[in-house]
A and B are shown apart, each in its own frame.
Chain A
Amino acid sequence: MAMEVTQILLNAQSIDGNVRKHAEDSIKQFQEQNLPSFLLSLSGELANDDKPVESRKLAGLILKNALDAKEQHRKFELVQSWVTLDNAVKAQIKTCLLQTLSSAVSDARSTASQVIAKIAGIELPQKQWPELIVSLLSNIHQQAANVRQATLETLGYLCEEVSPNVVDQDQVNKILTAVVQGMNASEGNNDVRLAATRALYNALGFAQANFSNDMERDYIMRVVCEATLSPELKIRQAAFECLVSISSTYYEKLAHYIQDIFNITAKAVREDEEPVALQAIEFWSSICDEEIDILEDYGGDFTGDSDIPCFYFIKQALPALVPMLLETLLKQEEDQDQDEGAWNIAMAGGTCLGLVARTVGDDIVPLVMPFIEENITKPEWRQREAATYAFGSILEGPSPDKLTPIVNVALTFMLAALTKDPNNHVKDTTAWTLGRIFEFLHGSTIDSPIITQANCQQIITVLLQSMKDVPNVAEKACGALYFLAQGFEEGGPSSTLTPFFQEIVQALLTVTHREDASESRLRTAAYETLNEVVRCSTDETASMVLHLVPIIMMELHKTLEGQKLSSDEREKQSELQGLLCGCLQVIIQKLGSSEPTKYLFMQYADQIMELYLRVFACRSATVHEEAMLAIGALAYATGPDFAKYMPEFYKYLEMGLQNFEEYQVCAVTVGVVGDICRALEDQILPYCDGIMTQLLKNLSSNQLHRSVKPPIFSCFGDIALAIGENFEKYLIYAMPMLQSAAELSAHTSGADDDLVDYTNSLRNGILEAYSGIFQGFKNSPKTQLLIPFALHILQFLDSIYMEKDMDDVVMKTAVGVLGDLADTLGSNAGTLIQQSLSSKDFLDECLSSDDHLIKESAEWAKLAINRAISV
């Protein structure tokens, strides 16, 4: 048997497909027939030093995959099957794993580390396997370096798997001590030191208490900083990774160390190898992220009770930091603009410079201008590009007052460079910089416009010309045009772009047909720019937008003609369909927003719908989503006439609702059900059984991403509002779901920010469902069916009011439900309403709200309540 396992594991890695397939089937069969024996065999294989390394590694990997999976529900099942295993079996497996940590074979040790951490992830939160950490810590004192290395690696994975609050502080202290000792320069073995440094990266989240203690923090910081000077590149890199993580986790503790860290990072950026230099730059980018967040949260106005004050590290480091970053800009790689995956020190440095500008604003300008002026006309392309990139990077952050005079001078230069510079790299960055100029310094909020009737013609001529350049330059020119159009979005009934509209649209369509449009994302950029040009167009050009409809429809039609496609071609087809459906969606939304254009557009509705249905028939997820979004827009534009498409469309709607894996598709489809409810009103009735069944299934599923659940509740409201008292038959299913969700979402105590946000969105969905149901039943003889639910709903309102953590959206929806309940149930609920806290304190609070939407809903609710209790 044992020999057989080894052979099967080796066969599973055979180059012969048949052998491999046979082996995989046997493994699967073994797992299904006898799980305990299967897991025992695998752990035995992994622990056995006589076995080949290949079979041991695969044994460990299969073992790991038997404990964890990406999908939530699968993971849950695996955890269940582990928990229910016989204790003796589990103990034997654990023994094998711990034993493997002492193996001479590093791959076996490393695999065992990962499996141990997975089991710890399941058992430690249940207070099981208490001896694990003790036994690991005892390994640390062993002589053999391989054991110490494997143990530190295991501790690192363990910290990644389990949450800090399941390990008590005493053990945390011991783990940290072991890890930091392993990192110390006195540790002679580099493998041990590297494992310790990487372990610290994961253990930092456990070190809250230790970072609050000056002595312990000093010690940890000293060891980390020393490790950045190790002769071993991987250790230096791992140590800088720790610094990056510390910069965001313990920003407020850094003041004492920032000067030293600056010196260390500056030296690394200038002298060290790229992987290390990149981490050193990332440290400063990360500090910028922190300070931007803090300054945004508090608007620079710090009171005593702010959570974390801003230490202005960037502002203080500015005079040294900026020259360091500017130097990196000159270290470009030749073809970085053609390579999607490129990331180098020049790119990292420029990105960091942009973040620094956002952090300090105006102060950066005088520090960067001399560099730009000195380099922008140099014969060496690297210098011109670096200067241009520096300029583009600092356009977000400083005030328009500071930048506008400079930009006015630079604009002419940039336009000339984009036309004439011989270097593609320079042109790429120039076009990007023009886009940044338009993004941040052009628009209705800017006092002195940089784009005027006088220079607009030239700008457009240059951009359209550049759209014929090599793909990466053309893509950036499209991007610049995107922001140019966006800046005219709120320009009133007449747009400066109107005279150029036809020419711009034509040029963009031409780009989409370029042979090389699939390079550098060019085709995508062209369609996205077309979308923005349409969104920002005015009535003056409505006829031209209308004219686009048959053109885009024809393009979409062409994608459907291909015969047998290879999987590569199919992917391209699906991507193109996504772009075209997206474009049509934007056009429909634009034309549908005014009566005359909507009327003209409607002549195409049938044909468009037919195209969408054919796109659905191609069955590709991304297209599915884009076509679904486009259908929502179409339903809104067509109104009740959409009914004629329902018989054919319905199956795709159902398919979309069933798409759990791509939850975005599911979410979009739920939104479209709402659109269709509002378009069809009670004509949606024949489809409601199917839709409601699927929505109820989705709610009960633990496979569906939780973010889709609140919109499903809102969708109940949309359906109820559309079909009125016909919602009756769904009450017995929907109401208990709503009640239990309401109970779950009533309290948030102890939850983190994300969970509070989610809870509020859940509450909002539940309340929108109640609103729709009440209003749907209003004036019907069946309103009495809702009376039994009134008490629970009022209690729910009371309890979320008591929690004091609802956001403005929930507040508005909640007070609205109060009114809906009173409005629909009238005197039937008069007494209950009068007894509820919501009808008094909560209502009063809403009545005096500064948010006029809340206030309006509250005033309406008050009227409805007065009517209900006065009868």
Chain B
Amino acid sequence: MAPHDLRRPFKRAAISDQQRRRELSLQRQAQHRRDAQHQARCLASFLNPHSEPEPETTSETEPEPSDSPKELDIRHASKLKGAEARKWFARQLMLPEWMIDVPDQLPQDWYVFARPAGKRCFVVSSNGTTMSRLRNGSMLHHFPSALPSGARTKDSSGSAQSYSILDCIFHESDQTYYVIDMVCWREYSLYDCTAEFRFFWLSSKLVETGACDLPSQYHRYRFSLVPVYNCDQAGLSAAYTGAVPYVKDGLFFYNKYDLFFYSVDKTGNTPLALVWKDENCSQYVIDRIAKDRFQANNSRLFIYSLDRVVLELQDNGNLSTSDDPPVVFGCVDRAFIEQTESRSGNLLQFAISDGGLNFVDGSLRRLIYIISEIPI
């Protein structure tokens, strides 16, 4: 029972750097475990054969199959400014294809909603401010909002660094952002989540923030949800004919089990989001180029009575689908390529008539151009 040592640390930091290194490593590991779990939970539980090519393509073509680079990418993107931001957001579009046939399992596996007319954009709230960016990446509005970290208010719910990204359509006449999808909420990435989960999350989270309230000093534009229906007969009918507080521009179809994999292909086209337009549900039934070209009264009928197909131009002049592996449909000659100033990788839109593949009205279009004109 010798006297007990009572020395205390003298002129020393309470924690050694070694201990700090250990703790920081543990924190990093815990964070990555959470990320991995989160990713696993959001992967579709009901992947069925027809939706499988999606994730498969991704895991084979993406050099890094792990989730983290994408997570980082989003986190990174929320902080981008200027030209860089424009470039990033322009790449991230999840654009629908025209609905040219009725998918299998439509009533079970799909959602439908009436698309508000207006500018499709991403809304990013972070660091006390909110920004909306159009599909080409350029900025639409820069404003305070009630979204998380969307305004410099004293509200301390959550860190100021946290960010959220919404997929919206800005509807001019009532100055409202209609939210049609959610990419990321309070740093919680919904990248790999099914549409089912994203819509559920969206509807449970958005109202809580007060973003759907009328505009005020710290909340310049109102946000609003669109009514989403199952694709059964009642749902389709409600979306098609039901009254909504906005001007309709076609119907949007989302596969419930589609993951929000952005970089599926270079264009952002995803076969799990489809659009339908006709006179009854859209005032923009014809894209503007078509309008320019076809002044004649019967042009509408002409275009929409044909099936259309989008093909990618290869180095050797072959035209192929964007499938993996690509399926070759036909080819064009050199003169055609020079005449149209096409390059390998361009996407060309074709109409299919009874006789097989033809160019629409004998002309060729680059799909990228066309899509940027169709106000989807």
Q: Which of chain B's residues have a CB closer than 8 A to the CB of A674? A: 29, 32-33
**The residue from A244, A589, A636 contacting B6, defined by CB atoms under 8 A apart:** A244
Q: Give the contact stretch, choosing among A15-23, A36-44, A507-515, A772-780.
A: A772-780
| Interface: A202 (CB within 8 A) | yes
Asked if residues B45 and A778 are in contact (CB atoms below 8 Å), the reply is: yes
Partner of B4, one of A241, A285, A664: A241
A157 touches B1 (CB 8 A): yes
Q: Is B305 close to A, CB under 8 A?
A: no
Query: Assuming A678-B66, A816-B37, A852-B186, is B17 touching A532 (CB within 8 A)?
Result: yes
Q: Is B172 an interface residue (CB 8 A)?
A: no
Contact with A along B352-370 (1 / 0, CB 8 A): 0000000000000000000
Complex Cα distance, B69 from A239, in Å, reads: 63
Residue B50 is within 8 A (CB to CB) of chain A in the complex: no
Flag whether B233 is at the interface (Cβ < 8 A): no
Closest A residue to B5 using CB positions: A343
Bin chain B's interface residue count: 35 or more
Q: Is B154 an interface residue (CB 8 A)?
A: no
Contacting residues of chain A (141-164) with chain B, CB-CB under 8 angstroms: 153, 156-157, 160
One of A582, A681, A864 near B66 (C-beta < 8 A): A681
A385 close to B (CB within 8 Å): no
A582 touches B18 (CB 8 A): yes
> Which residues from chain B contact A285 at a C-beta distance below 8 Å?
8
Please determine whether A201 and B1 come into contact, CB atoms closer than 8 angstroms: yes
Check B45–A820 contact: CB distance below 8 A: no
A218 to chain B, nearest CB (A): 26
Q: Is the CB of B17 within 8 A of A528?
A: yes
Any A CB within 8 A of the CB of B204:
yes
Bound-complex Cα distance A632 to B201 (A): 34
Interface: B36 (CB within 8 A): yes
Q: Tell me whether A718 is interfacial, beta carbon within 8 Å.
A: yes
Residues of B within 8 A of A528 (CB): 16-17
B1 partner, pick from A198, A681, A856, beta carbons under 8 A: A198
Q: How far is the CA of A285 from the CA of B9 in the complex (A)?
A: 12
A245's nearest neighbour on chain B, judged by CB, is B4
* Closest CB in chain A relative to B145 CB, distance in Å: 19
The answer to whether the Cβ of A727 comes within 8 Å of any Cβ in the partner chain is: no
Residues 1-46 of B at the A interface (beta carbon under 8 Å)? 1, 3-4, 6-8, 10-11, 13, 16-18, 21-22, 24-26, 28-29, 32-33, 36-37, 40-41, 43, 45
B24 and A721 contacting across the interface, CB-CB below 8 Å: no
Determine the distance from Cα of A238 to Cα of B4 in the docked complex, in whole angstroms: 9
Interface segment among A59-67, A77-85, A275-283, A549-557: the answer is: A275-283
Q: Which residue of B lies closest to A432 (CB)?
A: B11
Q: Are B7 and A636 in contact (CB under 8 A)?
A: no
Interface string of B43-71 (1 = CB under 8 A from A): 10101000000000000000011100100
Distance in angstroms between the alpha carbons of A160 and B29 in the assembled complex: 40
- B200's nearest neighbour on chain A, judged by CB, is A863
Q: Is there a chain A Cβ closer than 8 Å to B142's Cβ?
A: no
> Nearest Cβ distance between residue A9 and chain B, in whole angstroms?
24
Q: Is B143 engaged at the interface, CB distance under 8 Å to the other chain? A: no
The interface bits of chain A over 478-521 (1 if a CB of B lies within 8 angstroms of the residue's CB, else 0) are: 01001000000000000000000000000000000000000000
B188 contacts partner chain A, Cβ-Cβ < 8 Å? yes
Contact A351 B10 (CB under 8 A): yes
Asked whether any CB of chain A lies closer than 8 Å to the CB of B306, the reply is no
Cα distance A864–B193 when bound, in Å?
Answer: 13
Docked-complex contact A775 and B41, CB < 8 angstroms: yes
A639 at the interface (CB under 8 A from B): yes
Q: Interface centre among B17, B40, B72, by most A CB within 10 Å? A: B17
A772 close to B37 (CB less than 8 A) = yes
Contact (A237, B3) CB under 8 Å given A640-B64, A852-B186, A859-B204: yes
Q: A589 near B10 (CB under 8 angstroms)? A: no
Chain B contact residues: helix, strand, loop or mixed: helix
Is B98 on the interface with A (CB-CB < 8 A)? no
- Chain A 667-697, CB-CB to B under 8 Å as 1, else 0, gives 0100100110011010000000000000000
Q: Which residues of A contact B25 (CB under 8 A)?
A: 585, 629, 632-633, 668, 671
User: What sequence of 0s and 1s flags, for each residue 213-227 of chain A, a beta carbon within 8 Å of any chain B beta carbon?
Assistant: 000000000000000
Q: Does A576 contact B (CB under 8 A)?
A: no
Chain A 191-211 interface mask (CB, 8 Å, partner B; 1/0): 000000011011000000000
Verify if A291 is at the interface (C-beta below 8 Å from B): no
* A671-B29, A675-B32, A863-B197 given; A351·B17 CB < 8 A: no
1/0 contact trace for A760-778 toward B, CB 8 Å?
0000000010011001101
Give residues 649-673 of A contacting B (CB, 8 Å): 664, 668, 671
Pick from A275, A640, A664: contact of B3, CB under 8 Å: A275
Q: How far is the CA of A279 from the CA of B3 in the complex (A)?
A: 10
The reply to whether B33 and A582 form a contact with Cβ atoms under 8 Å apart is no
Minimum CB–CB distance for B12 against chain A, Å: 9
Q: Is B288 an interface residue (CB 8 A)?
A: no
B137 to chain A, nearest CB (A): 19
Contact of A640 among B21, B45, B65, B188 (CB under 8 A): B65
Q: Is B266 on the interface with A (CB-CB < 8 A)?
A: no
Q: B33 near A768 (CB under 8 angstroms)?
A: yes
- Please tell me if B158 contacts chain A, counting CB pairs below 8 Å: yes
Residue among A278, A776, A860, A867 with most chain B CB within 10 A: A860
Interface assignment of B343: CB less than 8 Å from any CB of chain A = no
B residues less than 8 Å from A819 (CB atoms): 41
Please state if A156 and B1 are interface contacts (CB–CB under 8 Å): yes
Least Cβ–Cβ distance between B364 and chain A, in angstroms = 37
- B179-209 CB mask vs A (1 if < 8 Å, else 0) is 0000000101000000001001100100000
- B-contacting residues, A556-603, CB 8 Å: 578, 582, 585-586, 589, 594-595
Bound form: Cα–Cα A160–B4 in Å:
13
Whether a CB of chain A sits under 8 angstroms from the CB of B152 is no
Cα A399 to Cα B69 with chains together (Å): 42
Q: Which of A532, A714, A775, A819 has the most CB of B within 10 A?
A: A775
Distance, CA A816 to CA B38, complexed state (A): 10
Per-residue CB proximity of A802-834 to B under 8 Å, as 1/0?
000000000000001001100110100000000
| Chain B contacts for A768, CB-based, 8 A | 33
Report whether A629 and B22 are in contact in the complex, using a CB–CB cutoff of 8 Å.
Answer: yes
Question: Given A351-B8, A675-B29, A860–B41 Cβ distance below 8 Å?
Answer: yes
Can you list 13 pairs linking A and B with CB atoms under 8 Å apart? Answer: A153-B1, A244-B6, A351-B8, A482-B13, A528-B16, A578-B18, A589-B24, A595-B73, A674-B33, A771-B37, A775-B40, A819-B41, A820-B41
- The 4 A-B pairs at the shortest CB distance, nearest first, are namely A775-B40, A528-B17, A198-B1, A343-B7
Given contacts A241-B4, A640-B64, A860-B41, list 15 more A-B pairs with CB under 8 A.
Answer: A198-B1, A278-B6, A343-B6, A351-B10, A528-B17, A629-B21, A632-B25, A632-B29, A636-B28, A636-B32, A639-B66, A717-B33, A775-B37, A775-B40, A816-B41
Q: Which residues of A contact B (CB under 8 A)?
A: 153, 156-157, 160, 198-199, 201-202, 237-238, 241, 244, 275, 278-279, 282, 285, 342-343, 347-348, 351, 428-429, 432, 439, 476, 479, 482, 528, 531-532, 578, 582, 585-586, 589, 594-595, 626, 629, 632-633, 636, 639-640, 664, 668, 671, 674-675, 678-679, 681, 714, 717-718, 721, 768, 771-772, 775-776, 778-779, 816, 819-820, 823-824, 826, 852, 856, 859-860, 863-864, 867
Interface residues in chain B, defined as those with a beta carbon under 8 Å from any beta carbon in chain A = 1, 3-4, 6-8, 10-11, 13, 16-18, 21-22, 24-26, 28-29, 32-33, 36-37, 40-41, 43, 45, 47, 64-66, 69, 72-73, 76, 158, 186, 188, 197, 200-201, 204
